[in-house]
Amino acid sequence: MPIQKTDKEEVIAGALELFRRQGYQRTTMADISAACGLLRGSLYHYFPSKEDLAEEAMGHVDTLFKDTIFSIAEDETASPTARLARMGAATEAYFTARRGGCLIGNLALETLDTIPEFRPLIRRYFERWITAYAHIYAAGGMSPRAARAEGRKAVALIQGALMMSRVFEDTSALQDAMMKLSKHPPTPENEVEEARNRDLKQN
């Protein structure tokens, strides 16, 4: 029985990578079966359809991020800045070790308008990510509303940076973005404004 679970996980792992790099439509069940050594028909013992398989792959990523990355934000024993740094490092490590960027981000852009079944999964993943950043920002003294807005911008920046890294085949775009996010909580717009005003008055 442990063999069984291993097999299924192997299929998911192979499918996950193919979906991430080739997209959902372009990846065929034949590709996946070749990647995991199973025959085409055998995949259907584990997954009733290609869609289900993709959902399980996304669920796998979702769970992994929840357990190993987003959970860092909840560690109230660490300072907000320390949590930011640790979450950033974990995020960067995850994506640096894998080509093709973010599975769920990629599938989001490809399927959001055509496969409604994926939408809840996609939203839950990003919702959790945003909430993680917002939690840290709020712990740093930001208002809940601003913390959430900044969290959304943080996730946007990471996803955009993943896109840039892929487009230019240069991981520095991701590193750059993570560095920006990791050092300290962002300064919301008005605070920046005030800071500038202060600077101007000093001169």
Partner DNA sequence: GATGAATGAGACTTCATTCAT
Partner DNA sequence: GATGAATGAAGTCTCATTCAT
| Cα distance between residue 153 and residue 95, in whole Å | 18
Nearby residues of 91 by Cβ (< 8 Å), 6 or more positions away? 69, 158, 178
C-alpha 134: how far from its chain's center? 15
- Residue 4 lies near DNA (rule: CB under 7 A): yes
* 6 forms part of the interface with DNA (CB under 7 A): no
Considering the rule CB under 7 A, would residue 145 count as an interface residue with DNA?
Answer: no
The answer to whether 92 and 34 have CB atoms below 8 angstroms apart is no
58, 101, 135, 147: which one contacts a copy of itself (CB under 8 A)? 101
Residue from 69, 105, 133, 135 in contact with a copy of itself (CB under 8 A): 105
Distance CA 166, CA 152 (A): 21
Of residues 42-81, which lie at the interface with DNA (CB under 7 A)? 42-46, 48-51
Select the span of 4-12, 52-60, 81-89, 166-174 touching a copy of itself (CB under 8 A).
166-174
Residues that bind DNA (CB under 7 A): 4, 7, 27-30, 38-46, 48-51
